[in-house]
Chains A and B, each alone.
Chain A
């Protein structure tokens, strides 16, 4: 059967939800990169050749002869090359031959490879829910002490927990992404005297003000929202609910909700949907450039935010990867054409809470060469090396935010590294797939298409296995 798009879209959803990336905006990235004042940068210049010697950082991993490690993951295209590049030095210094194989059908293929007895040495697993499933097969080995030591040193407890299944720590986090950005045009804000809101209510007030003022583009509405994403249509809506719920109810309630202990039909969850509905169901507020709320489902998530550039909308809720969607030449900066603020807290002074995603590196054996690479990838050396290549960020505390290739990346790293930041993984990725990769999406589509909230919520609740 030709189900490529199916897998593709599910995967795309995963990837988009999981990685912060800015593929394809190389100009922008390089600009950000070259301004770094870090002296050690040359060693990672693509294509420029490596400075001989300089293996000091890699001495701890030992040297090997003829050992090969297969790294397997969902990353493809430019990012796959950058990944390969980020371990090139390691490869050179340790003598371990590292092969990265990327596939956009990772979720299916990893199961098939494990079932078929053909597991890779290391897999980069794009979310904790899938990690649990892969661990469930019994094929994954617990993380070696060297990896655990690195994670204790460089990551927050939140992150370590996401790499833990049962009470065993299996997988170190790799890259990260921050969700819940709200994109806007600083130029437009300045021209109209709009201020970046600091509370949820402030944002609703701003929306009302914008709706009254109108905009310059055709079919202006304050918000542009797009759910369409092939077979994963609706995921963009789940991000809204996650952001609101985490801020309204706090991390403990969020964890209970994700675990299935707080029902979708509970007043807490209903409240989060109602807050979202205040924006998404109001035909005066959406859908800038595309019509009314009914057009949300048919507007692609990539396209929606572009209304801001046309003056047809002012606000667009989407993860940091959306940076890559702006057409070439768009100035993404605090005073540029577009910039983003984090979805505001409910009350002034609430702790910074963000949702996001990230990958985890799981090992299928404990060969010394596998352990060496696994340890390296959990180190600050790797994080700096990889982030310097552009496009991604990490929550590794040893990472220098200045290595980020774009302003929004730098801002994201700083948020992730913040001592008081509450970080929670994208909830729908953690729920059973019957909910998080299926009914939750479908019901978000139903909700914005006019289905009653009670039906929407009980549909999702009933799909919980």
Chain B
């Protein structure tokens, strides 16, 4: 191949790294010296954390006091207990039940989520590249249409799609592939929109150079678009991950007994009469853990920045 473009990011910003580091450090100092900024940041961080902390503390309130007492009252009495977490994970519906532990649903959530993130991200990136860099008739119209589809309420699309995926047609409803396909479709508008906006900001000289060298669209996509849009892909991936992870509706409709994710038993957890409502905070807290792990894992992509993207205004 005659492509001369370097394959990865660093070379795109050939400015010397060392000087950048130095100036960054200098600037950091300047930022930190503004006490107002620091104070404001701390206040925002506190305000944003309080509800989560309150959730955690409420998760520690034993069932017998859940309805009547606030967590700080229970805390002062020294009555807080971690046993709710144990109930949720291993006993699922409180005592005297053989209902399965949530662990199976955690696993299902993973099996549902990972492909449902990969598929739309890959397909979305392909389309985003086409809309951003390949001029063709109707390009604008199609893009605007996809953009506008973001507002189509999901509920309206459920039954028509189920008919297509159902036993009379494709026959994957009630199984993992059915859930993956449904999630992929519903993720498409946002995926194309977000990725398009980042892909479009890749400096045009890079792509033009590739074209001049005779690179085809396929080659450009693999050699330039994929490496340069990794940060954008990472951001989309995390949001799609959160969306799928917290989804109940799509999984309930397109999934079945063997595929139900974590959200499903959690919604049943309170019990028919709300008798296990005290377990909901602990279950909700547990369901937050894996998304946060994923966030930490992908965070370095955010920190690395969106490279050339976003800078050309």
Asked if B194 lies at the interface with its beta carbon under 8 angstroms from chain A, I say no
What residue in chain B is nearest A76 (Cβ atoms)? B268
User: Given A21-B273, A24-B275, A118-B174: A3 and B248 within 8 A (CB)?
Assistant: yes
Distance between Cα atoms of A370 and B277 in the complex (Å): 36
Distance between Cα atoms of A5 and B248 in the complex (Å): 10
Contact with A along B290-305 (1 / 0, CB 8 A): 0000000000000000
Question: Which residues of chain B are near A104, meaning CB under 8 Å?
Answer: 267-268
Asked if A81 lies at the interface with its beta carbon under 8 angstroms from chain B, I say yes
Asked if A210 lies at the interface with its beta carbon under 8 angstroms from chain B, I say no
Query: Would you call B167 and A2 a contact (CB within 8 A)?
Result: no
Contacting residue for B267 out of A4, A15, A23, A115, CB 8 A: A4
Asked if B4 lies at the interface with its beta carbon under 8 angstroms from chain A, I say no
Query: Would you call B173 and A79 a contact (CB within 8 A)?
Result: no
Query: Would you call A4 and B263 a contact (CB within 8 A)?
Result: yes
User: Given A21-B273, A77-B268, A324-B275: A105 and B174 within 8 A (CB)?
Assistant: no
Query: Would you call A1 and B273 a contact (CB within 8 A)?
Result: no
Asked if B127 lies at the interface with its beta carbon under 8 angstroms from chain A, I say no
Contact with A along B255-288 (1 / 0, CB 8 A): 0010000010011101111111100000000000
Interface residues of A in 21-44 (CB under 8 A from B): 21, 23-24, 26
Contacting residue for B93 out of A1, A3, A78, A109, CB 8 A: A78
Question: Which residues of chain B are near A306, meaning CB under 8 Å?
Answer: 67
- Distance of A97 from chain B, by nearest CB (Å): 15
Query: Would you call A117 and B268 a contact (CB within 8 A)?
Result: no
Contact with B along A101-140 (1 / 0, CB 8 A): 1011100110010011110000000000000000000000
Distance between Cα atoms of A387 and B208 in the complex (Å): 77
Distance between Cα atoms of A280 and B207 in the complex (Å): 73
Asked if A63 lies at the interface with its beta carbon under 8 angstroms from chain B, I say no
Contact with A along B165-189 (1 / 0, CB 8 A): 0111000011000000000000000
- Distance of A25 from chain B, by nearest CB (Å): 9
Question: Which residues of chain A are near B167, meaning CB under 8 Å?
Answer: 116-118
* Total A residues in contact with B, Cβ cutoff 8 Å: 40
Query: Would you call B67 and A23 a contact (CB within 8 A)?
Result: no
Question: Which residues of chain A are near B23, meaning CB under 8 Å?
Answer: none
Query: Would you call B248 and A76 a contact (CB within 8 A)?
Result: no
Asked if B153 lies at the interface with its beta carbon under 8 angstroms from chain A, I say yes
Contacting residue for A302 out of B247, B263, B266, B274, CB 8 A: B274
Asked if A12 lies at the interface with its beta carbon under 8 angstroms from chain B, I say yes
Query: Would you call A24 and B249 a contact (CB within 8 A)?
Result: no
What residue in chain A is nearest B273 (Cβ atoms)? A324
Query: Would you call A24 and B263 a contact (CB within 8 A)?
Result: no
Interface residues of B in 54-112 (CB under 8 A from A): 64, 67, 93-94, 96-99
Interface residues of A in 308-332 (CB under 8 A from B): 321, 324-325, 327-328
What residue in chain B is nearest A322 (Cβ atoms)? B273
Question: Which residues of chain A are near B96, meaning CB under 8 Å?
Answer: 24, 26, 78
User: Given A3-B249, A26-B96, A118-B166: A12 and B272 within 8 A (CB)?
Assistant: yes
Distance between Cα atoms of A179 and B1 in the complex (Å): 79
Question: Which residues of chain A are near B276, meaning CB under 8 Å?
Answer: 24
Asked if B252 lies at the interface with its beta carbon under 8 angstroms from chain A, I say yes
Asked if A300 lies at the interface with its beta carbon under 8 angstroms from chain B, I say yes
Query: Would you call B67 and A1 a contact (CB within 8 A)?
Result: no
Question: Which residues of chain A are near B268, meaning CB under 8 Å?
Answer: 8, 76-77, 104
What residue in chain A is nearest B246 (Cβ atoms)? A2
Distance between Cα atoms of A116 and B268 in the complex (Å): 24
User: Given A77-B97, A116-B166: A24 and B248 within 8 A (CB)?
Assistant: no
Asked if B162 lies at the interface with its beta carbon under 8 angstroms from chain A, I say yes
Contacting residue for B273 out of A8, A81, A321, A327, CB 8 A: A321
Distance between Cα atoms of A300 and B166 in the complex (Å): 40
Distance between Cα atoms of A79 and B153 in the complex (Å): 35
Contacting residue for A115 out of B97, B159, B266, CB 8 A: B159
Contacting residue for B97 out of A15, A81, A105, CB 8 A: A81
Distance between Cα atoms of A104 and B174 in the complex (Å): 17
Interface residues of A in 72-102 (CB under 8 A from B): 76-79, 81, 101
Asked if A303 lies at the interface with its beta carbon under 8 angstroms from chain B, I say yes
Asked if B212 lies at the interface with its beta carbon under 8 angstroms from chain A, I say no
What residue in chain A is nearest B99 (Cβ atoms)? A77
Distance between Cα atoms of A273 and B277 in the complex (Å): 32
Asked if B253 lies at the interface with its beta carbon under 8 angstroms from chain A, I say yes
Query: Would you call B252 and A109 a contact (CB within 8 A)?
Result: yes
What residue in chain A is nearest B168 (Cβ atoms)? A117
User: Given A104-B268, A115-B159, A116-B163: A78 and B249 within 8 A (CB)?
Assistant: no
Contacting residue for B153 out of A1, A105, A109, A116, CB 8 A: A1
What residue in chain B is nearest A328 (Cβ atoms)? B64
Asked if A219 lies at the interface with its beta carbon under 8 angstroms from chain B, I say no
Asked if A19 lies at the interface with its beta carbon under 8 angstroms from chain B, I say yes
Asked if A164 lies at the interface with its beta carbon under 8 angstroms from chain B, I say no
Question: Which residues of chain B are near A328, meaning CB under 8 Å?
Answer: 64
Query: Would you call A77 and B64 a contact (CB within 8 A)?
Result: no
User: Given A79-B272, A321-B273: A1 and B154 within 8 A (CB)?
Assistant: yes
User: Given A3-B248, A21-B273: A116 and B173 within 8 A (CB)?
Assistant: yes
What residue in chain B is nearest A3 (Cβ atoms)? B249
Asked if A298 lies at the interface with its beta carbon under 8 angstroms from chain B, I say no
Query: Would you call B272 and A105 a contact (CB within 8 A)?
Result: no
Asked if A16 lies at the interface with its beta carbon under 8 angstroms from chain B, I say yes
Distance between Cα atoms of A23 and B268 in the complex (Å): 14
Distance between Cα atoms of A16 and B97 in the complex (Å): 20
16 contacts between A and B (CB under 8 A): A2-B263, A4-B263, A12-B270, A12-B273, A23-B272, A23-B275, A24-B273, A77-B272, A104-B267, A115-B159, A115-B162, A116-B168, A118-B167, A302-B277, A324-B273, A327-B64
Q: With A2-B247, A8-B270 given, can you name 19 additional A-B contacts, CB distance below 8 Å?
A: A1-B153, A1-B154, A2-B246, A12-B273, A23-B272, A24-B96, A24-B271, A24-B273, A76-B268, A77-B272, A78-B97, A103-B252, A108-B252, A115-B163, A116-B163, A118-B166, A118-B173, A118-B174, A302-B273
Q: Which B residues have a C-beta under 8 Å from some C-beta of A?
A: 64, 67, 93-94, 96-99, 153-155, 158-159, 162-163, 166-168, 173-174, 246-249, 252-253, 257, 263, 266-268, 270-277
